[in-house]
């Protein structure tokens, strides 16, 4: 890091979340003067009052906006209106109030769900507008993509230094393993571990297994976000990823092997696969601010499984000590 962070105050929305904790830790290694995390219990960022109070209390020079209402395919299908409204209203008001508060720089972390359903692989940032997102998560993806429009419009009219990053699916220790809202990797890990420990002879998996996904280790994502906040000042959106994909069928087999689950995989083809393929072109991030992911895939997946299996709360539940 350079002296860019010296005497700068940073506000990280969603800073107590899965990705946010890593971003805060990475910022802690810089010379930033103060890192402010407005927690939802104290600041409702869906309201103008909550945003105004957060900006007044944090007095940030830089805002990194990570807060979002998120979930896997099931959660998106059950909450399309909520996911659209809360993500859109939070981001739109936050960018506007940050502009009025004369924040020096605003970093929006968007979503790969904003890409069109049938984007050519690898996804290039210039393809973001060449079609409609995959239906199951389109409301969420479009709400986040509106923040790209706002960022570019505010740069053009007001000279507001807003940048927009598009990370691919994240994973790692500390992920959300709640089956009602988790994404694919933690959901599969939980299914396999729980089935192994209960002696179940199979697990049920949504879809056909033919869809593909790209996964970025959460610490690598945090590194990319902090690098962009320091080094990148342009209207163009930028992908954050690793540049290669794996099919869900291959992923299930790998997770089963790493968790020592030997039962059968029952595919529920009546459930959606989601977007057919996801793999990003990561050239722009490398060229514009020198980001390249470092965590080897097998090592990152093993670390995520180990974290889940070692959680005391999970062990107590398995042993029957928690209802």
DSSP assignment of 196-254 equals HHHT-SEEEEES-S--EE-EEEHHHHHHHHHHHHHH---SS-EEES-S--EEHHHHHHH
Q: Is residue 196 part of a domain?
A: yes
For 162-201, write each residue's pLDDT tens digit.
999 999 999 999 999 988 888 899 999 999 999 999 999 9
Q: Is residue 321 part of a domain?
A: no
For 43-101, write each residue's pLDDT tens digit.
999 999 999 999 999 999 999 999 998 777 788 789 999 999 999 999 999 999 999 99
Q: Is residue 20 part of a domain?
A: yes
For 227-252, write each residue's pLDDT tens digit.
999 999 999 999 999 999 999 999 99
Catalytic residue among 43, 85, 132, 140: 140
Q: Is residue 250 part of a domain?
A: yes
Query: Angle formed by the axes of helices 80-100 and 138-158, to 10°?
Result: 20
For 297-318, write each residue's pLDDT tens digit.
999 999 999 999 998 766 544 3
> Is 2 in a helix, a strand, or coil?
coil
What b-and-e string marks burial along 299-316, b requiring 16 or more CB atoms within 10 Å of the CB?
Answer: ebbebbbebbeeeeebee
The pLDDT of residue 95 is 98
**Contact at 8 Å (CB) between 139 and 84?**
yes
Q: Is residue 322 part of a domain?
A: no
Q: Which residues have a Cβ under 8 Å from the Cβ of 261 and sit 6 or more positions away?
A: 192, 193, 195, 196, 203, 255
- How far apart (Å, rounded) are the C-alpha atoms in residues 117 and 105? 31
Q: In percent, how much of the chain has pLDDT > 90?
A: 86
Q: Which domain holds residue 199?
A: 3-313
pLDDT at 144 over 80: yes
Strand 246-247 versus strand 212-213 pairing type: antiparallel
The pLDDT of residue 224 is 98
Q: Is residue 270 part of a domain?
A: yes
- pTM, two decimals, is 0.92
Alpha-carbon distance values, 283 to 19, 60, 240, 292 (Å): 22, 31, 9, 9
The pLDDT of residue 320 is 30
The two structure tokens encoding residue 156: 């053009």
Output the domain CATH number for residue 26. Answer: 3.40.50.720
Q: Is residue 149 part of a domain?
A: yes
The pLDDT of residue 234 is 98
The pLDDT of residue 323 is 26
For 282-293, write each residue's pLDDT tens digit.
999 999 999 999
Q: Is residue 318 part of a domain?
A: no
The pLDDT of residue 313 is 64
Active site residue 140: yes
Looking at the structure of the chain, the number of domains it has is 1
- How far apart (Å, rounded) are the C-alpha atoms in residues 66 and 93? 14
């Amino acid at each position: 890091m350079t002296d860019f962070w010296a005497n700068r105050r940073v506000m990280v929305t969603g800073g107590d979340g899965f990705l946010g904790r890593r971003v805060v830790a990475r910022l802690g290694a810089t010379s930033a003067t103060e890192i402010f995390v407005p927690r939802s219990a104290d600041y409702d960022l869906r309201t103008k009052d909550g945003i105004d109070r957060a900006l007044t209390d944090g007095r940030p020079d830089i805002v990194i906006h990570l807060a979002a209402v998120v979930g896997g395919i099931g959660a998106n299908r059950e909450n399309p209106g909520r996911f659209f409204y809360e993500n859109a209203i939070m981001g739109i008001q936050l960018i506007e109030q940050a502009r009025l508060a004369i924040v020096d720089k605003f970093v929006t972390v968007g979503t790969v769900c904003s890409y069109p359903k049938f984007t050519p692989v690898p996804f290039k940032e210039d393809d973001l507008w060449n079609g409609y997102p995959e239906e199951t998560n389109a409301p969420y993806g479009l709400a986040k993509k509106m923040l790209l429009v706002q960022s570019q419009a505010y740069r053009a009219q007001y000279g507001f230094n807003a940048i927009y990053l598009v990370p691919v699916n994240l994973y790692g220790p500390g992920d959300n393993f709640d089956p009602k809202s988790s994404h694919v990797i933690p959901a599969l890990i939980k299914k396999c571990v729980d089935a192994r420990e209960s002696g179940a002879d199979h697990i049920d998996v949504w879809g056909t297994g033919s869809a593909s996904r790209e996964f970025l280790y959460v610490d690598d994502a945090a590194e990319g976000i902090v690098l962009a906040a320091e080094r990148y000042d342009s209207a163009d959106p930028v992908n954050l990823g690793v540049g290669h994909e794996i099919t869900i069928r291959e992923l299930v087999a790998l997770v089963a092997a790493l968790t020592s689950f030997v039962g059968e995989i029952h595919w529920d083809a009546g459930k959606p696969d989601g977007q057919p393929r996801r793999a990003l072109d990561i050239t722009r991030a490398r060229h514009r601010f020198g980001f390249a992911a470092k965590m080897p895939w097998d090592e990152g997946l093993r670390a995520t499984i180990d974290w889940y299996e070692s959680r005391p709360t999970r062990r107590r539940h398995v042993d029957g000590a928690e209802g």
